[in-house]
């Protein structure tokens, strides 16, 4: 089981710096939620951690440096749920989720009964079994988002990177998916790093919250330390009331009248 740590991570697009000097460390079983306004660099940070874009600085997955790992090694260790997933045309939900098993299937080989069983179990846990034979492109937005999550879970990676995994889901499914991830990280000691725009969910599910603004870490710590009303006002331009509860703060948007 591996943790994730990085120091001084930088990323640029066309010469413009999007991440500058990001440090973080997440232990097995821990959930770090990255929050920040649109364009802050959250997706870029997850892409850097997954090794899909070039980044400066040091990223270490377990005891290995990311830039010294092969693509297949990274795939067996890191599962990603992208913010805007590209789903192939004409592929059934079952076959799509089976793609998550790719790191375990030998080159030129076929999936085995254990892979099919794993896919079935994951589909069941995400209420997707009845959609198994449908094409992914025929699913509703929320059903599709669950299929993408199912593919990531079928990968059995020890590091889960989730980019806004609940945006298309109804409230019940948002809670179901977050509870499922929460259970998995506790049972299996997964490292979970997610972005979440819903600051109440960020506070309730994150062990720690990292606030990223314009590519820099502004604050990092327990949800109640980071998600204070004045901090949310300053960095999100939002008026909120933060209500302390035993299971974490609730960040309640309140209407301002001019």
Q: Which residues of the shown chain bind Mg ion in the complex (CB under 5 A)?
A: 42-43, 83
**Closer residue to ligand ATP in complex, CB, 41/165:** 41
74-103 residues in contact with ligand ATP (CB under 6 A) are 83
* Residues 43-72, mask of contacts with ligand ATP (x by CB under 6 A): xx----------------------------
| Closest by Cα among 42, 33, 46 to 249 | 33
Query: If binding is defined by CB under 6 A, does position 256 make contact with ligand ATP?
Result: no
**Closer residue to ligand ATP in complex, CB, 42/146:** 42
**Closer residue to ligand ATP in complex, CB, 49/93:** 49
Span near ligand ATP by CB under 6 A; candidates 36-44, 62-70, 186-194, 220-228: 36-44
* Residues 128-167, mask of contacts with ligand ATP (x by CB under 6 A): ----------------------------------------
The C-alpha atoms of residue 206 and residue 220 are separated, in whole angstroms, by 11
Query: If binding is defined by CB under 6 A, does position 41 make contact with ligand ATP?
Result: yes
For residue 62, the minimal CB distance to ligand ATP (Å) is 25
CB 165: neighbour CB atoms within 10 A? 24
Cα dist from 249 to 33, 71, 202, 243, whole Å: 14, 39, 9, 5
For 108, residues 6+ apart whose C-beta sits below 8 A from its C-beta are none
The footprint of ligand ATP (CB under 6 A) covers: 13-14, 18, 36, 38-44, 83
């Amino acid at each position: 089981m591996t943790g994730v740590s990085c120091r001084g991570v930088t990323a640029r697009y066309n010469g413009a710096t999007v991440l500058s000097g990001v440090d973080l460390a997440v232990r097995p079983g821990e959930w770090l939620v990255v929050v920040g306004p649109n364009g802050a660099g959250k997706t870029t940070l997850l892409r850097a951690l997954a090794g899909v874009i070039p980044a400066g600085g040091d990223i270490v997955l377990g005891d290995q440096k990311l830039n010294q790992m092969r693509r297949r090694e990274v795939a067996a260790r890191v599962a990603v749920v992208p913010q805007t997933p590209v789903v192939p045309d004409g592929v059934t939900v079952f076959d799509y989720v089976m793609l998550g098993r790719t790191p375990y299937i030998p080159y030129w080989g076929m999936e085995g009964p254990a892979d099919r069983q794993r896919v079935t179990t994951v589909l069941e846990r995400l209420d997707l079994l009845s959609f198994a034979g449908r094409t992914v492109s025929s699913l509703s937005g929320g059903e599709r988002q669950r299929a993408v999550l199912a593919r990531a879970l079928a990968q059995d990676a020890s590091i889960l990177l989730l980019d806004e995994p609940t945006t298309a889901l109804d409230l019940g499914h948002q809670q179901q998916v977050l509870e499922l991830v929460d259970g998995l990280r506790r049972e299996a000691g997964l490292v979970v790093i997610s972005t979440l725009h819903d600051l109440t969910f960020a506070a309730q599910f994150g062990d720690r919250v990292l606030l990223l603004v314009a590519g820099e870490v502004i604050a990092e710590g327990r949800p109640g330390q980071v998600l204070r009303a004045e901090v949310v006002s300053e960095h999100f331009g939002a008026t909120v009331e933060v209500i302390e509860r035993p299971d974490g703060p609730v960040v309640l948007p309140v209407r301002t009248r001019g």
